[in-house]
């Protein structure tokens, strides 16, 4: 094969690897069937079925690696399985290991020779960095998903309060309010309550489990409030409205803090631009002054 053929083949392989990498780093919508199966199974144990994707199958053996810490809450927030997460990490590491030899091959084709030791060391370093790339990506996606869940919980609290004001029972209020929304968060609420119903438990038990699995204190607070109402028959309309108001205040404070940070970041490009424009405008005059003086 000619050098051009090798370049085309190497470019195709690299493009395919990068396409697979970006497709796995992109947040995927949660699969409610898998969510229901995970809620019925023990944490850390996955049930394989014939419909599982290939990456899920490849990632299952990696779950038993010693010293491995899997961010279950962040994965649950983004709707991804631990096995797919581990397969993505392995894929990223393999791409990092393969990039230096790929570049070495290109260099050899152009007549430039690179030592094998340098290529091996660069591959190990890049592979280690790429291994942690899915963790960094997952952290940002989980933060966005958490904010979306909190907004949904705030609306859900208001809807449950309205159902209670309409003189519906605690369990019925939770179920009726969950049918109003069509977002993934509301679907998760409905699935959690259906799972509790299969176990012959009240719906707030399912919401409490979901809140603990996702790390959402606001959802567990709602479950506690509804449990008190179901056990004692207490009027919880005011408590629900107050919790919704506090949650909206927290979200507003977070948005304001984030906006302040973004505003500070925007100052730096503006300052650099003004400095460059000042230098460009002042340089001809200053250069002419010094050249005339000399």
Distances (CA, A) of 17 to 12, 24, 96, 179: 9, 11, 10, 41
Query: What whole-number distance in Å separates Cα of residue 60 and Cα of residue 82?
Result: 8
pTM: 0.70
The residue among 198 and 31 whose pLDDT is bigger is: 198
Please write the tens of the pLDDT for every residue from 161-183: 999 888 888 889 999 999 988 88
Residue 202, in any domain of the structure: yes
Distances (CA, A) of 172 to 54, 99, 182, 185: 40, 57, 18, 19
160 plus 56 within the same structural domain: no
64 plus 120 within the same structural domain: yes
**Residue 77 zone, left/alpha/beta (φ > 0; ψ -120 to 50; rest):** alpha
Give the distance from CA 176 to its chain's centroid: 29
Give the distance from CA 140 to its chain's centroid: 5
Residue 289's pLDDT is: 78
Please name which of 53, 60, 52, 49 lies closest in space to residue 82, comparing C-alpha atoms: 60
**Residue 200 zone, left/alpha/beta (φ > 0; ψ -120 to 50; rest):** left
Residue 283, in any domain of the structure: no
Please state the domain count of the chain.
Answer: 2
122 plus 149 within the same structural domain: no
Q: Which residues contact 197 (CB under 8 A, 6 or more apart)?
A: 203, 206
> In the chain, how long is the greatest CA-to-CA distance?
94
**pLDDT bucket at 119, cuts 50 / 70 / 90:** confident
Mean pLDDT over 94-120 rounds to 78
155 plus 232 within the same structural domain: yes
Q: Which residues contact 239 (CB under 8 A, 6 or more apart)?
A: 225
Residue 47's pLDDT is: 40
Please name which of 25, 133, 156 lies closest in space to residue 78, comparing C-alpha atoms: 25
Domain assignment of residue 185, given as a range: 144-247
148 plus 122 within the same structural domain: no
């Amino acid at each position: 094969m000619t050098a051009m053929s090798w370049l085309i083949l190497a470019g195709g392989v690299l493009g395919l690897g990068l396409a697979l990498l970006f497709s796995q780093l992109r947040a995927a919508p949660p699969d409610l069937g898998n969510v229901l199966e995970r809620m019925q199974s023990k944490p850390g144990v996955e049930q394989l079925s014939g419909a599982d994707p290939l990456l899920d199958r490849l990632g299952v053996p990696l779950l038993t690696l010693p010293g491995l810490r899997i961010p279950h809450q962040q994965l649950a927030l983004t709707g991804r399985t631990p096995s797919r997460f581990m397969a993505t990490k392995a894929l990223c590491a393999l791409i990092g290991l393969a990039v230096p030899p790929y570049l070495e091959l290109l260099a050899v084709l152009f007549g430039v020779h690179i030592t094998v030791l340098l290529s091996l060391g660069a591959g190990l370093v890049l592979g280690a960095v790429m291994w942690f790339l899915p963790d960094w990506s997952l952290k940002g996606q989980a933060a966005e998903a958490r904010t979306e869940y909190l907004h949904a919980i705030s609306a859900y609290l208001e809807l449950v309060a309205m159902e209670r004001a309409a003189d519906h029972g605690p369990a019925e209020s939770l179920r009726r309010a969950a049918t109003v929304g069509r977002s993934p968060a509301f679907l998760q609420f409905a699935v959690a309550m259906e799972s509790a119903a299969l176990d012959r438990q009240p719906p707030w038990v399912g919401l409490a489990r979901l809140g603990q699995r996702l790390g959402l204190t606001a959802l567990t607070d709602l479950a506690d409030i509804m449990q008190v109402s179901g056990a004692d028959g207490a009027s919880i309309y005011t408590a629900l409205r107050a919790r919704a108001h506090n949650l909206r205040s927290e979200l507003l404070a977070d948005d304001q803090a984030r906006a302040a940070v973004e505003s500070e970041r925007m100052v730096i490009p503006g300052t650099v631009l003004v400095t460059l424009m000042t230098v460009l405008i002042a340089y001809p005059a200053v250069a002419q002054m010094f050249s005339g003086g000399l």
